[in-house]
Amino acid sequence: MEPNISKLYEAYKEGQIDRRTFLKQLTVLTGSAAAALAVLPALGETTDSVSMQNDGLMTVFVNYPAPKTEMKAFMALPNKAGKFPAVVVIHENRGLQPHIQDVAKRFAKEGFLALAPDGLTPVGGTPEGNEQLASERIRELVQEDTVDNFVAAVKYLKTHPQSTGKVGCTGFCWGGAMTNQVAVHAPELDAAVPYYGRTPATEDVAKIHAPIMAHYAGNDPGINAGIPAFEEELKKQHKEYQIFIYEGAGHAFNNDSNPERYNEAAAKLAWGRTVTFFKEKLV
């Protein structure tokens, strides 16, 4: 065993560093998350939360630091050595459901390091198999703290050992609104793609530095009411932006786990645009 790895493991076993720090530093020493995973059994450690996918991906639940707590998140990335542009994926108002984890995997298949935080971490996390309870917990969140928690995800990915340092953010419904807030509050963000999310306050648009690609459903009057003022201010502030409205589609059209709302044509078109946009801005 390489001496540096042995010393790192000794520091972890003696309680000098926590498991998250140990795994992060082990990844740096071995050159990739996949290599770190291969070393763990030789050290007598389990790979309990790490999964190697048959489709060339690695997934893992991680914790990352935020101002008032440690946030839980689902991470997906290509199972190979190297550094990857990163994307924060923000869930709908039902919490970190399997659908959003699958969206993170889709980004990983496109060559991104994807991180899907559980926004409900401060109130006990997303309850498994109970979307109604998750939506109730969403209402318990403190808005300012929640924005800080997602901004912290951007900072975490900026310095992650397998990130290139280029970080984008996307989100859906509640997560689309949060993506707009991340764009307002994270000047280091490199690109933002909100899906049918409430627009930020007009006076906050000037704070946005990242280029924006916003997707909206044609049949979504409550959300769409904010588009004209948002676009007018984006133009006034000379921001880089694109806005797409998908006629015939309704709110949450990207969610293919919800047959009543999913619109395949709109979802595929928006996804293709999103991936191309991130590859242009993050690579």
The per-residue b/e assignment along 139-154, b for 16 or more CB within 10 angstroms, e otherwise, is: eebeeeebbbbbbbbb
Which pLDDT band, with edges at 50, 70 and 90, does 172 fall under?
Answer: very high
Supply the mean pLDDT for the chain: 92
Q: Is the pLDDT of residue 79 over 80?
A: yes
For position 237, what pLDDT does the model report? 98
List, edge to edge, every strand of the sheet that includes 163-172. Answer: 50-52, 57-65, 70-78, 113-117, 84-90, 163-172, 191-195, 212-219, 241-250
Range in 79-93, 140-154, 186-200 with the lowest mean pLDDT = 79-93
Report how far residue 114's alpha carbon sits from residue 84's, in angstroms, rounded to the nearest whole number.
9
For position 14, what pLDDT does the model report? 80
Range in 160-164, 210-214, 261-265 with the lowest mean pLDDT = 160-164
For position 270, what pLDDT does the model report? 98
- Domains of the chain with bracketed CATH: 1-48 (no CATH), 49-282 (3.40.50.1820)
Give the mean pLDDT of 226-241. 98
Six-digit token string for 186: 């994270």
Give the mean pLDDT of 263-279. 98
Give the mean pLDDT of 249-253. 98
Give the mean pLDDT of 189-194. 99
Report how far residue 211's alpha carbon sits from residue 167's, in angstroms, rounded to the nearest whole number.
12
| pLDDT tens per residue across span 23-76 | 778 878 887 666 777 677 677 665 555 555 557 898 989 899 999 999 999 999
Report how far residue 269's alpha carbon sits from residue 257's, in angstroms, rounded to the nearest whole number.
17
For position 38, what pLDDT does the model report? 66
For position 47, what pLDDT does the model report? 53
Question: 236 versus 54: which is more confidently predicted?
Answer: 236
Give the mean pLDDT of 265-282. 98
